[in-house]
Chains A and B, each alone.
Chain A
């Protein structure tokens, strides 16, 4: 009653092999397909952006009068205000720190225009350069 002959007689080996192969290949194909969805969407979005921009540009050129500003700079708060925002972030870092670390902190806090803001803080002397491209917060400026 218990016999490998039962398997052979009922085409069991073939059913198992074919069935397992089909389900495996099916899920491999599906996993590959879903791994590509976000890439295809990114491509599609870029394409839409490109066409959208050129259409927008065309429209803007048509509606703008001569001499209208082509670019409006981002609004950056005064440097004192920037120092007030960035001081607690810098305090969280071990001195001397890399500006990239400070930049990461601003990203975490979703603070706008970090590149320009850090540049202004450097120019205003709030961020003092040390060795090997590292910086410290100028505490004298806080007083």
Chain B
């Protein structure tokens, strides 16, 4: 009986845990704290944080329990991540929730979304410089797009062994937008530039809103067919919303479908951060490069806006460049708040959303392009 008790105790998590598990538990608690107390991207950080706690409960391997063990429940749920199914479903919901009218009223703001993607290519070079393999470097670089689902999608295709660290880095930096972006914006702009007021948006007709997803999917996916799983569903979701005859489908896509995918995506990504797989020198490198990617993306958007101002009669507020990353709506909100700080009557939210939504499209195209380079 005593042997049985000893045997049982030796199989408990308390006995099997080592310092790495405790480190990961601290990471998990931090995510939960940031999500629940600080309200930083709670829809993402709460399921991921809880997933980190669950994924870092030590167990005896070989019994089909862990996420990396065949036939385990978690492994089946993780299938949606490794095949890129969840990110595509999230994009469907995102499309059904996104209002592109601000982008349609000021199409030139789309260039800021393009400029912010430069962070991706700078990070690609940096990762290669640091000795990462090309496929790994491409997966790390996409963090610069500041789009969690896109990062997961590309990493699942190119370097599935890095999904955990890359997803955590991408979502962490998305949640830390209020910390990362404002100093860069302030550093690169003068007060006079921050005070620039944007003209009110043109009223966009319903027909334009309906035509846009059709034009968008054709132009973008003919250019980068590998972005089809993301952009195809993004524009489908948007078409469902705008066409006005399938409200039931649009409502389901923007509520139940995206919520279900977000829960399983966040939770399984969290679970995939098992200490023995996650805590490696490579993961540290990924976190470092992720921060570089995000900062460069923000900076290149702001700098490009300033360059555009050299040629434009009607100047644009360069803060909007920071919203060119695709962290919707976090970066647009941050730009708006900084504009309000300088001038309480300067409302930049809708213009920021235009840059943000073009950033989503831009980073998905980048993911498609990078994937196609390795086909």
Option from A7, A12, A27, A35 in Cβ contact (under 8 Å) with B114: A27
**Could you tell me which residues of chain A, from 21 to 53, have a CB within 8 Å of some CB in chain B?**
22-24, 26-35, 37-38, 41
Tell me which of B120-128, B167-175, B343-351 binds A. B120-128
A109 sits at the interface (CB 8 A)? no
B67-75, B152-160, B248-256, B364-372: which one contacts chain A?
B364-372
Q: Give the chain B neighbours of A37 by CB distance below 8 A.
A: 104, 208, 211-212, 215
A143 contacts the other chain (CB 8 A): no
Q: Size band of the B side of the interface?
A: 35 or more
Segment from B37-45, B216-224, B329-337 that makes contact with A: B216-224
On whether A12 and B104 interact (CB within 8 A), knowing A19-B369, A27-B362, A41-B208, the answer reads no
Report if A20 contacts B (CB, 8 A): yes
Q: Please give, as numbers and ranges, the residues of chain A lying within 8 Å of B113 by CB-CB distance.
A: 27
Option from B117, B125, B138, B362 in Cβ contact (under 8 Å) with A13:
B125
- Within the complex, the shortest CB–CB distance from A13 to chain B, in Å, comes to 7
For A23, list chain B residues within 8 Å (CB).
114, 117, 362, 365-366, 369
Is A111's beta carbon under 8 Å from chain B?
no
Q: How far is the CA of A41 from the CA of B104 in the complex (A)?
A: 13
A22/B223 contact (C-beta < 8 A), A27-B358, A35-B107, A37-B211 known: yes
* Cβ < 8 Å to A, chain B residues 113-140: 113-115, 117-118, 120-122, 124-125, 128-131, 133-134, 137-138
Number of A interface residues, CB 8 Å?
A: 32
Contact between A16 and B121 (Cβ–Cβ < 8 Å)?
A: yes
Partner of A16, one of B104, B124, B361: B124
Q: Which of B216, B366, B369, B373 has the most CB of A within 10 A?
A: B369
Contact B131 A34 (CB under 8 A): no
Structural contact, A33 and B215, CB atoms closer than 8 A: yes
Given contacts A27-B111, A27-B358, contact A15 B373 (CB under 8 A): yes
- Nearest CB in chain A to that of B112: its residue: A27
Min CB–CB distance B19 → chain A (angstroms):
27
Nearest-neighbor residue (CB-CB) of A32 within chain B: B107
- Give chain B residues whose Cβ lies under 8 Å from the Cβ of A20: 117-118, 121
Is the C-beta of B192 less than 8 angstroms from some C-beta in chain A? Answer: no
Chain B 297-356 interface residues, beta-carbon cutoff 8 Å to A: none
Interface majority SS (helix, strand, loop, mixed), chain A = helix
Instruction: A31 to B107: give the CA distance in the assembly, Å.
Output: 5
Interchain CB contact under 8 A, A2 and B107: no
Most chain-B CB neighbours within 10 Å: which of A7, A17, A37? A37
Structural contact, A31 and B215, CB atoms closer than 8 A: no
* Chain A residues whose C-beta falls within 8 Å of the C-beta of B215 in the assembled complex: 30, 33-34, 37
Q: How far is the CB of A40 from chain B (nearest CB, A)?
A: 9
A2 with B204, Cβ < 8 A, contacts A30-B220, A35-B107 known: no
Say whether, besides A19-B366, A26-B365, A34 and B118 are in contact (CB < 8 Å). Answer: no
Select one of B110, B118, B122, B124 contacting A30, CB under 8 A: B110
The answer to whether A10 touches B134 (Cβ under 8 A) is yes
Report chain B residues within 8 Å CB of A2: 129-131
By the criterion CB–CB under 8 Å, are A41 and B207 in contact? yes
Is A1 located at the chain interface by the 8 A CB criterion? yes
The residue among A4, A10, A16, A26 with the most chain B CB atoms within 10 A of its own CB is A26
Q: Contacts A19-B370, A24-B114, A35-B107; is A10 near B361 (CB within 8 Å)? A: no
When C-beta atoms are compared, the residue in chain A nearest to B120 turns out to be A19
Q: Is the CB of A27 within 8 A of B365?
A: yes
A6 on interface, CB distance cutoff 8 Å: yes
Residues of B within 8 A of A11 (CB): 134
Q: How far is B121's CA from A13's CA once the two chains are assembled, in angstroms?
A: 9
Tell me whether B369 and A27 are in contact (CB under 8 A). no
> 25 A-B residue contacts at CB 8 Å?
A6-B129, A10-B128, A10-B133, A10-B134, A10-B137, A12-B125, A16-B121, A16-B124, A23-B362, A23-B369, A26-B219, A27-B113, A27-B365, A28-B111, A29-B223, A30-B216, A31-B108, A31-B111, A33-B219, A34-B107, A34-B208, A34-B212, A37-B208, A37-B211, A37-B215
Taking Cβ atoms with an 8 Å cutoff, the residues of A that contact B are 1-4, 6-7, 10-13, 15-20, 22-24, 26-35, 37-38, 41
Q: A2-B131, A19-B373 are in contact. List 17 more A-B contacts (CB 8 A).
A: A6-B128, A6-B131, A10-B128, A15-B373, A19-B120, A23-B362, A24-B114, A26-B365, A27-B110, A27-B361, A28-B110, A30-B220, A33-B215, A37-B104, A37-B212, A37-B215, A41-B211
User: Sorted from nearest, which 3 A-B pairs have the closest CB atoms?
Assistant: A31-B110, A27-B114, A16-B121
